[in-house]
Structure 1
Amino acid sequence: MANKLHIVSLGCTKNLVDTEVMMGKLQNFELTDKNDEADVIIVNTCGFIDAAKKESVNTVLSLHEARKDDSLLVMAGCLSERYQDELKEQMPEVDIFTGVGDYDKIDELLVEKKSRFSDEVYLIDGAERIVTGSSYHAYIKLSEGCNQTCSFCAIPSFKGKLKSRNLDSIAREVETLVKKGYWDFSFVSQDSSSYLRDQNIKDGLSLLIQRIELIEGVKSARILYLYPSTTTMSLLKNIAKSKIFHNYFDMPIQHINDDMLRIMKRGFGKEKTLELLNFMRSLPDSFVRTSFIVGHPGETQEMFDEMCDFARSFGFDRMNIFAYSDEETTSAHEMNDKINEETKVKRAEILGDIATECTGKSLEAEIGKTVNIVIDKESDEHEFLLSARELLWADEIDGEIYVNDRTDDESELQFGKIYKAKITQLVGNILTATVDNAPSKS
């Protein structure tokens, strides 16, 4: 088989882990950024909401137009899984279709040149990955599927119920990556705070924290995608006590109005959601990220205004804003009181502006602080500026810091190392910092 591979990972970081598994199985291929030179092209698609579905289809078609005549085009992942019959019929451009169950069999599929959709969702357990994008940070997938019944979410319809990895499997993967030089980890899943609940263990994340803290070489960690009704105060306190896990709280609440939370089938109302958020915010050096959905069926102007007032006043560090996407197989799809597209777009713009303001305030509050940063690369802005991030922040998600000076200029700054740095100013939406000592031993 010819040996040039072009691979594209769309959607979330959980998809990225699966893409890295495929890369691990295809190490006999030479990776290329030039899709017109590739012998095999793989797109790991996203099928979550309408915008992601369109991006996936357009990416596949665009790659098809430029590819070599004798190349293989593979459409994998969530969109392919969710609409396997329709896509096979409507996209003859694709040579091989596969869903969310056969990432570790991608080498076999290429040899057979056949489509395959296994019944079980693939969950990494010992497979070798080619970690991308960083020499020191890696995402670790905790589970697949979801037991929640959110009105707007189609994920359980094609990924099924929650299926957690066991602690030993996760620990072995982290240990393997530490031996390769990785020391910063972000733990992800559809609903991370439900980890191990499918095995009748209520607070699995607390057990995970204890286990990861025992692994020598892990210097930094954070947990993404907490779900309000499965996030316990005990868990938050255990994160706060950890010397490795940051007070980083990523909990998409989607709304704050009591009636809308009930309509969305979120499990928790406003009072208990606020109890969690206020505790997160009260912790030292905490970072709080959330997501909101605007324009869900039944959302009144008053409900939207309440969400805007709350988003503006709470003090979130980052917010993601989504306009409601009407997805078949969801309960919201069958609801009346649909919001028209013009109103959804307008509301998303209004809340998006608030999110931008809140991010700006969060960044301004960093000025004058001395924080731990990691330098990743040369910046795109100027050859004398280095691109870094605050160690607390999630990799490539929460922003960038330009390092433009240091007090000790005797040694060259190194990529992938932790430094103490003083935040000096905010230029646009990017902070600048001065490194003032040698790499930290923390």
Structure 2
Amino acid sequence: EGSFLYDGGNAPRVKSMRGASAYLKVAEGCSRSCTFCIIPKIRGKQRSRSVTEVLGEARLLAAQGIKEVVLIAQDLTSYGVDLGDNRSLITLLEGLETIPGLRWVRLMYAYPWNFTDELLSLIKDSDRVLPYIDMPLQHISDRILKAMRRNVLREKQLELIDKLRAVPGMVLRTTLITGFPGETDAEFQELADWIQDVEFDRVGVFAYSPEPGTPAAEMPDQVDPEVAEARRGALLAIQQGIHEEKMRKMIGERLEVLVDGPSDEHPLVLEGRYYGQAPEIDGVVYLSFEDGGSFVRPGEFVEVEIEDASEYDLVGVVLAEP
């Protein structure tokens, strides 16, 4: 088994993200047995940090000026289950809501199992836990999901998506796999039709490649890598059209934006993100200023009116404070 990264000591926290955002790892390892994944063999079963320890780190980050924490684990919604507490994630989120200065709490790798109605209610009622969920679903075909050893099948996935969509302003991200061993043309088409129908806000797609030491690598009917890649491209093309339409509809909206700092691609331009954009993966809001506009600093929240949209990014003008 892999060794645990945390010993409960008081080592200084090194921030691993630009601006006023930081990742906050709550657990290491995974106790699931997805047939395509090597993580449990490499990192061992899930070992959760205590709520007290995670909150302590969050307070340190907030004291350093961090405004957004991104909660991560290999299986976030199972956080604390290994400690015998199925409500650990709820308890943690309730604690994070009380930390002065912390404005945004983002959930990443929130798997569909253990995603409770209580968690949904907390997100709906919270002004800090963002209505943004990254939930890797991988596929929609029941046969493929069973072969992957995913224990949330099509009907339950659709039910959960409906519940999530009922939360005002919810932004949904998922990841999918094409070309899993045995995936037929019909099963891929089922996946493509589903993506078109559900209209996720963000989608990442991976073409399956065998991971030595995993059950899936030994399965019969391995899909030709070129076919898997072509299917990946087809899904991304569908999603690109969906995403561009969603972005265009945002023109004219007024959004609260967290300023990250100068753009890596355009150093003379400041960029930030609204709550529906996770750092480093979802695109940004490029900021412009009205004539005589004031200077803004990284870590500040500003009101922005969206004036333009590209394939992945938004462009908006910072509105002067009244």
TM-score where L is the length of structure 2: 0.94
Structure 1 residues 86-110: Cα deviation after superposition (integer angstroms, max 9, x where no partner):
xxxxxxxxxxxxxxxxxxxxxxxxx
Q: Distance in 1 between matches of 2:23 and 2:145?
A: 30
Q: Give matches, 1:228-267, under 5 Å.
A: 228-267=112-151
Q: Between the two structures, name the one with larger relative contact order (CA 8 Å, sep ≥ 6).
A: 2
How far residue 306 of structure 1 moved from its aligned partner, in angstroms, is: 0.6
Q: Distance in 2 between matches of 1:350 and 1:194?
A: 32
Q: Give matches, 1:35-434, under 5 Å.
A: 120-123=3-6, 125=8, 126-380=10-264, 382=266, 385-406=269-290, 409=292, 411-434=294-317
Q: Is the 8 A contact 2:258 2:300 kept in 1?
A: yes
Structure 1 residues 217-255: Cα deviation after superposition (integer angstroms, max 9, x where no partner):
211111100111221222122111112111011000000
Q: Distance in 1 between matches of 2:280 and 2:189?
A: 31
SS in 1 for 2:203: strand
Structure 1 residues 153-211: Cα deviation after superposition (integer angstroms, max 9, x where no partner):
01001111010000000011011111111121100000000000001212321111111
Q: Distance in 1 between matches of 2:66 and 2:270?
A: 21
Question: Structure 1's 124 and 314: CA in aligned 2 closer, same or farther, altered over 3 A?
Answer: farther
How far residue 382 of structure 1 moved from its aligned partner, in angstroms, is: 4.9
SS in 1 for 2:70: strand
SS in 2 for 1:298: coil
Name the stretch that deviates more: 213-222 or 294-303.
213-222
Question: Structure 1's 253 and 436: CA in aligned 2 closer, same or farther, altered over 3 A?
Answer: same
Question: Structure 1's 158 and 435: CA in aligned 2 closer, same or farther, altered over 3 A?
Answer: same
How far residue 383 of structure 1 moved from its aligned partner, in angstroms, is: 5.9
Structure 1 residues 263-283: Cα deviation after superposition (integer angstroms, max 9, x where no partner):
111001101111111111221
Structure 1 residues 101-134: Cα deviation after superposition (integer angstroms, max 9, x where no partner):
xxxxxxxxxxxxxxxxx96232363421221332
Question: Which structure's residues are more often helix, by fraction?
Answer: 1
How far residue 258 of structure 1 moved from its aligned partner, in angstroms, is: 1.2
SS in 2 for 1:132: coil
Percent of residue pairs identical: 33
Q: Distance in 2 between matches of 1:140 and 1:319?
A: 23
Structure 1: 5+ residue stretches without partners = 1-117
Give the partner amino acid of 2:296: L
- Pairwise CA RMSD: 1.9
Q: Distance in 2 between matches of 1:196 and 1:133?
A: 25
Q: Distance in 2 between matches of 1:423 and 1:129?
A: 35
Deviating runs (4+, > 4 A) in structure 1?
Answer: 380-384
Q: Distance in 1 between matches of 2:312 and 2:320?
A: 25
Give the partner amino acid of 1:335: M
Q: Distance in 2 between matches of 1:145 and 1:371?
A: 36
SS in 1 for 2:113: helix
Number of paired residues? 321
Structure 1 residues 398-439: Cα deviation after superposition (integer angstroms, max 9, x where no partner):
1011112337x3532222210011111113432110111339
Larger CA Rg, structure 1 vs 2? 1
Structure 2: 5+ residue stretches without partners = none
Give the partner amino acid of 2:187: M
